[in-house]
Amino acid sequence: MNSIVLGTEQGLRVVGGRVDEMDPLDGADVCALHRAGDTIWAIVDGDHLVRVSAGRAQPVARVGMPATCVLAAADTVWIGTEEAHLFRLDRDDLRGVPGFDAAPSRPQWHTPWGGPAATRSLAATDGRLYVNVHVGGIVATDDDGASWTPTIDLHTDVHQVSLDADGTVWAATGARALAESRDEGQSWTFHRAGLHGTYLRCAVPTDDGVLVTASSGPHARDGAMYRFDGARFEPCGGELPARFAANLDTGCLAANGKFAALAGTDRRLYVSEDAGRSWIVAASDLPAVRAVIV
C-alpha cells in the first residue's frame, strides 16, 4: 500500500509505509498539506508555514492571517488564506501577491452569509496557477501572479479546483455538481448523472476517472463518494459506507495514479487501489483529519 500522510488536529499520522518513527509535528493542528518530492509543506496552528523533510520540521514563515491551503509548484510555495488573499514564498521570503488582490472579478467575490470570501483550493500545471475563491469562482495566472483571468462563472460556488495529467480542469461545485474544462477554463461542461445530490466538496482525478464527494446540501447528513467515468457517476463500494452523517470536506480526499485515500467523518481512513471502484478500511480511531496526501 502507498504511504498516506494525514494532517490532523494532533499532528501528522502516516498510514501504509514507514516514513519516520517520530511525528515532527506532534500535537500541532495541521490544516493543509502539500508534498513536493521528499518535502512536505504544512500549514500548522492556523498561520504557520512549516517544511517537513527527513523527519524534521522547520518553521519557515508566519502568514499573519488564517491560512486555508498550500501548494508547491515550480520552486514557489503558494498559500491561500481567509479573506481571499494569496501569498508566495520564494526561497524564505513570504510576500502577499498584489496582483491577486487586484483580480478583475474581486469586487464581486462574496459569501451567501455575508462574510468575506476565502481562498479555498489551488492547482497548478506548466506555469499556470488556478486559484479557487469561495465564493468567487476560479481565477488563473500565467505570469506568476502579476495578472489574473476569471474562468468559471464566479456565482457557481466552487469548493475545489484540480487538474489531471492531460491538463483538464475539474471543479467541485456547490449546485451544479462536477465541472470540466478542456480549454484552460474558457468553457465548462457540467456533469451530474447518477448523483443523489449536486453539492460537491471534492473533485480528485485518478488515472481512471474522477472521484468526488457529494451530498444534498451544505448542512446535509448524506455525504457519499462517487466515481465519474466520463459519462456518469457510480457509487463507490467495498467497505466504504453508502452515506456519511456529514459532508466529506475539501482536503479529505487524495489520489496518486489509481491509488486513493479518503478520511471519513467517522474517523476512519479508507483506501482504494483501483481508482475508487472498491475500498477498504486502513485505519480507525483517528484524530480529526484536515488534509490527506498520498
pLDDT along the chain (294 residues), means of 10: 93 78 90 96 98 95 97 94 97 95 96 93 96 97 97 95 97 97 98 98 98 98 98 97 98 98 98 98 97 97
Does the pTM surpass 0.85? The reply is yes
pLDDT of the residue at 74 = 84
pLDDT of the residue at 18 = 56
Nearest Cα neighbor of 82 from 136, 51, 119 is 119
> In this structure, what DSSP letter does residue 236 have?
-
Are 39 and 51 contacting, i.e. CB atoms less than 8 angstroms apart? yes
Longest dimension (CA), the chain: 48
Are 211 and 236 contacting, i.e. CB atoms less than 8 angstroms apart? yes
Nearest Cα neighbor of 259 from 238, 275, 281, 282 is 275
Q: In which order are the strands placed within the sheet that holds 224-228?
A: 199-206, 209-215, 224-228, 233-235
Q: In which order are the strands placed within the sheet that holds 48-53?
A: 30-36, 39-44, 48-53, 56-62
pLDDT of the residue at 192 = 98
In order of start, what are the domains of the chain with their CATH numbers?
1-62 (no CATH), 68-284 (2.130.10.10)
3-state class of 93 per DSSP? strand
CA gap 64, 67 in Å, rounded: 9
In one-letter notation, the amino acid at residue 208 is D
Pull the grid cell for residue 280.
477498504
Are 199 and 217 contacting, i.e. CB atoms less than 8 angstroms apart? yes
pLDDT of the residue at 17 = 65
pLDDT of the residue at 140 = 98
The count of other CB atoms within 10 Å of the CB of residue 140 is: 20
